[in-house]
Chain A
């Protein structure tokens, strides 16, 4: 819908454009600049063309990190989305308890990433952490700094603890928008609990769930702070996800060129996936209009 035309409005947008230029476009161009050059320090650069991209595409290290990353995102989505829906379905619809649940659910979302990491780092320690100590006491071998499985489990449980609330809150909002008449009609039609979910609740939640999946995917695909604080990417490279690997490469080894090429490919992957989501979502809307 086009509104009343007013050219002065452009001046109001200008500061934002300047900010975006400084915060996004210029750094991005710097990265592009690094990705096609080689440097041996001293601020001397040599043209390298697409060499770094080629190297990265054939780097086992990067493919491994990408594999771990995809596995991580897939696992946490597979847990958080159904779990979030389940929680939302079981939350009270109104009253004091509803408000109480909402506050409780939003608490984990308010904690900064590095604090979440620290909490779980301590929580999981066998000597002083409640979780680690308890597991150890009941005879389960648990050491996230040495055991591959324990490290993954810790990182995943931590993410689920941190972010399931977001999915649940979004799903809850979707559920709240369903008029009572739908549930009454379902009772009259003698629909099973599953049918109510499948034909009423799920279709009405579809829109917000797509947003939840998109947000959780992008966020988990770029995860850095929490696993870095807890496992530091270990044991070995077992929890070295893409961004951890990237930081190691860029700051640990100071391989600026390969790291820049890596960044750009990383960025393109996220862009691609987001675009796919966007297309699916708009098609969902279009279906509504037919």
Chain B
């Protein structure tokens, strides 16, 4: 288990990067705590896989250092880093049995056979595969194979970190739940440092203690799921996390009031007069629709019934506003006004969140 330090780290795939745009990964300085579960979340091409490959040693960063527990491993080969990785597509040794697969990393390191046998038995119990130990890995289902790759990672007790590269991509929705909770349980019981790369917000939020949201080669926010939901640091975080994402409305900000297309919106805090291009961010969960009365004039365009709630799509001065209605709550007839719960309103200047006066930094 190890603390992972990214020190001044950056990477460019071009030999002679001239501008910041040439960097797939822009300068990073972070400490990732020992024993925590992190998720790297972002769209494809945001740099999350580049970062993972630097941590696992498959890629040498063009700048900066990476440290495990204070030891510089920037130029150490993968095998010396004592990390384990689970890939997008299950990687198992087809011709070996499940038992041989699990024993492989220990055998390669010349471990004592009695120790190997007991360790394999323990890991098999952890991943729930004691019954299939003597089957050939070839022909097992995708989720069983992913469990084997996970087991192969955990079989070494000295493993520094477990890395996951979109491990649930090929797994059926029902099995996803099972595997994810199993992973969560394993993390709780054994406290490995885990890094999980995904583009799926649900996977990232439910798995991780801390989610690292990446956008265009940058880390835009690191926070608990709750922080990302309630106080997105960047409009991209607001958009990317949440389904549907946060509504973003151009607004003028004066103190504790915002003006959107001529309608006043209470902000729930004093924001002064922030410079730059100002916007309001409101999650659909904090939008209420009513017929007449105060609020922003809107036109409802479509209602989607997702079962446990309804998503109402509406239009306000050409900007789309989504609202979430709980199951069983009816949409008022002729709904044409939207109001926002002030607790759920965030203010953005040039895409970055502005803290209200008095908020602890």
Chain A interfacial positions (CB closer than 8 Å to B): 179, 181-182, 184-185, 187-192, 195, 199-200, 203, 287-290
Our pick among B78, B87, B139, B153 for the contact of A290 (Cβ within 8 Å) is B139
Chain B residues lying within 8 Å of A179, measured Cβ to Cβ, are: 89, 91
Chain A residues lying within 8 Å of B96, measured Cβ to Cβ, are: 199
- Report if A188-B85 is in contact (Cβ < 8 Å); known contacts: A195-B108, A290-B139: yes
Chain B residues lying within 8 Å of A185, measured Cβ to Cβ, are: 85, 87, 91, 149, 152
The reply to whether A290 and B138 form a contact with Cβ atoms under 8 Å apart is yes
A/B pair count, beta carbons within 8 Å = 61
- Report if A189-B108 is in contact (Cβ < 8 Å); known contacts: A181-B87, A203-B95: yes
Bound together, the chains give a CA A195 to CA B89 distance in angstroms of: 21
**Chain B 140-161 interface mask (CB, 8 Å, partner A; 1/0):** 0000000001001100000000
Bound together, the chains give a CA A189 to CA B102 distance in angstroms of: 10
Across the interface, name the chain B residue whose C-beta is closest to A187: B78
Chain B residues lying within 8 Å of A289, measured Cβ to Cβ, are: 139
- Report if A184-B104 is in contact (Cβ < 8 Å); known contacts: A199-B95, A203-B94, A287-B138: no
Across the interface, name the chain A residue whose C-beta is closest to B163: A188
**Chain B 101-127 interface mask (CB, 8 Å, partner A; 1/0):** 000110011000000000000000000
Our pick among A182, A192, A200, A287 for the contact of B108 (Cβ within 8 Å) is A192
The reply to whether B105 and A184 form a contact with Cβ atoms under 8 Å apart is no
The reply to whether B108 and A184 form a contact with Cβ atoms under 8 Å apart is no
The reply to whether A199 and B93 form a contact with Cβ atoms under 8 Å apart is yes
Q: Is B261 at the interface (CB under 8 A from chain A)?
A: no
**Given A184-B58, A189-B152, list of 18 further CB < 8 A pairs?**
A181-B88, A181-B89, A185-B85, A185-B152, A187-B79, A188-B56, A188-B85, A188-B153, A189-B104, A189-B105, A189-B108, A190-B109, A192-B108, A199-B93, A203-B93, A203-B94, A287-B136, A287-B139
Chain A residues lying within 8 Å of B139, measured Cβ to Cβ, are: 287-290
Chain B interfacial positions (CB closer than 8 Å to A): 56-58, 77-79, 83-85, 87-89, 91, 93-96, 104-105, 108-109, 136, 138-139, 149, 152-153
The reply to whether B138 and A188 form a contact with Cβ atoms under 8 Å apart is no
The reply to whether B94 and A188 form a contact with Cβ atoms under 8 Å apart is no
Question: Which 10 A/B pairs are nearest by Cβ-Cβ distance?
Answer: A181-B87, A187-B78, A189-B105, A185-B91, A190-B108, A199-B93, A190-B79, A290-B139, A203-B95, A181-B91
Chain A residues lying within 8 Å of B84, measured Cβ to Cβ, are: 188
The reply to whether A184 and B87 form a contact with Cβ atoms under 8 Å apart is yes
Bound together, the chains give a CA A251 to CA B96 distance in angstroms of: 55
The reply to whether B83 and A191 form a contact with Cβ atoms under 8 Å apart is no
Chain B residues lying within 8 Å of A200, measured Cβ to Cβ, are: 93
Chain B residues lying within 8 Å of A182, measured Cβ to Cβ, are: 91
Chain A residues lying within 8 Å of B95, measured Cβ to Cβ, are: 199, 203
How close is B247's CB to chain A, nearest CB, in angstroms? 39
Bound together, the chains give a CA A190 to CA B156 distance in angstroms of: 12
Chain B residues lying within 8 Å of A290, measured Cβ to Cβ, are: 136, 138-139
- From B56, B84, B85, B89, name the one whose CB has the most chain A CB atoms within 10 angstroms: B85
The reply to whether B104 and A191 form a contact with Cβ atoms under 8 Å apart is yes
Bound together, the chains give a CA A187 to CA B77 distance in angstroms of: 9
Bound together, the chains give a CA A188 to CA B52 distance in angstroms of: 14
Chain A residues lying within 8 Å of B93, measured Cβ to Cβ, are: 199-200, 203
Chain B residues lying within 8 Å of A181, measured Cβ to Cβ, are: 87-89, 91
The reply to whether B104 and A188 form a contact with Cβ atoms under 8 Å apart is no
- Report if A190-B138 is in contact (Cβ < 8 Å); known contacts: A182-B91, A184-B56, A185-B85: no
How close is B37's CB to chain A, nearest CB, in angstroms? 19
A-B contact pairs, 16 of them (CB 8 A): A179-B89, A179-B91, A181-B89, A185-B91, A187-B57, A187-B77, A188-B79, A190-B105, A191-B104, A191-B108, A203-B93, A203-B95, A288-B138, A289-B139, A290-B138, A290-B139
Bound together, the chains give a CA A262 to CA B266 distance in angstroms of: 101
The reply to whether B85 and A184 form a contact with Cβ atoms under 8 Å apart is yes
Chain A residues lying within 8 Å of B79, measured Cβ to Cβ, are: 187-188, 190
